[in-house]
Amino acid sequence: MNCIICGNSAESAICQNCAGLEPQEAIRTYCLNSASKNPLQMSQAIMNHPGFPVAGHLHHALVAAVLVAAYRNAGGEVSPEKLDEAIKRGNSIPGGFCAGFGADAAAIACGIAVSLINGNTINAEHATGRAQAHALTGEAMLNIANNSGNRCCKRSVYGVLELATNYFNRVLGSSLEAPQESIRCPFTRKNKLCNGKACKYHPA
């Protein structure tokens, strides 16, 4: 079989080398090597890394990175430097931001991806590009705002990536792929704050 992170032949789903990576480096390695156009499937592969936490700020870098990589894999022009910048910007949002600042960072991470893809600046020629980034952040923010119960980073990732896949295809003219079957979260047992059957992604 091949390692789901680096793609090299391996004796288990994740090779020894990749299993020892820091999760941030696992995001980068996966996104540099993956040919997938399916951001949700990409996020699930990375979240399966043994070092990837149940919750926390790494989910922000994850969302920004898989969107940039999937856009590239669907034929979009985006340099490896932009992938690194996506991870860097995602990681720069402080821990606790989602609860304390009135804006969920998984939603902001979607806007980071579009900002990088469009090469947005503060100048007039990028007004449309900025509007595209802000509109996706806004839609993703409302998606998360419609959740109830405990906060769950897995649920936020699934929700915003479902929405962003649709948005990229509709607004950016990309051809990202959505999962063919509904998402069944494999992390419910690990997550002490799992909302159980109240969550649309719970496998029950």
Q: Point out which residues bind Zn ion (CB under 5 A).
A: 3, 5-6, 15, 18
Nearer to Zn ion, 13 or 135 (CB): 13
The minimum distance between CB 40 and Zn ion, in angstroms, equals 21
The minimum distance between CB 10 and Zn ion, in angstroms, equals 6
Nearer to Zn ion, 15 or 141 (CB): 15
The minimum distance between CB 76 and Zn ion, in angstroms, equals 25
Backbone angles phi, psi at 16, to 5 degrees: -60, -40
Q: Which residues pair with 200 in a beta bridge?
A: none
Nearer to Zn ion, 3 or 108 (CB): 3
Nearer to Zn ion, 8 or 128 (CB): 8
DSSP per position, 8-59: SB-SSSS-HHHHTS-HHHHHHHHHHH-----HHHHHHHHHTSTT--SSSTHH
H-assigned helices in 22-152: 23-33, 39-47, 58-73, 80-91, 97-100, 105-118, 127-145
Nearer to Zn ion, 5 or 42 (CB): 5
Q: Alpha-carbon distance 133 to 74, whole Å?
A: 19
The minimum distance between CB 61 and Zn ion, in angstroms, equals 19
The minimum distance between CB 28 and Zn ion, in angstroms, equals 12
Of 153, 171, 156, residue with least CA distance to 117: 171
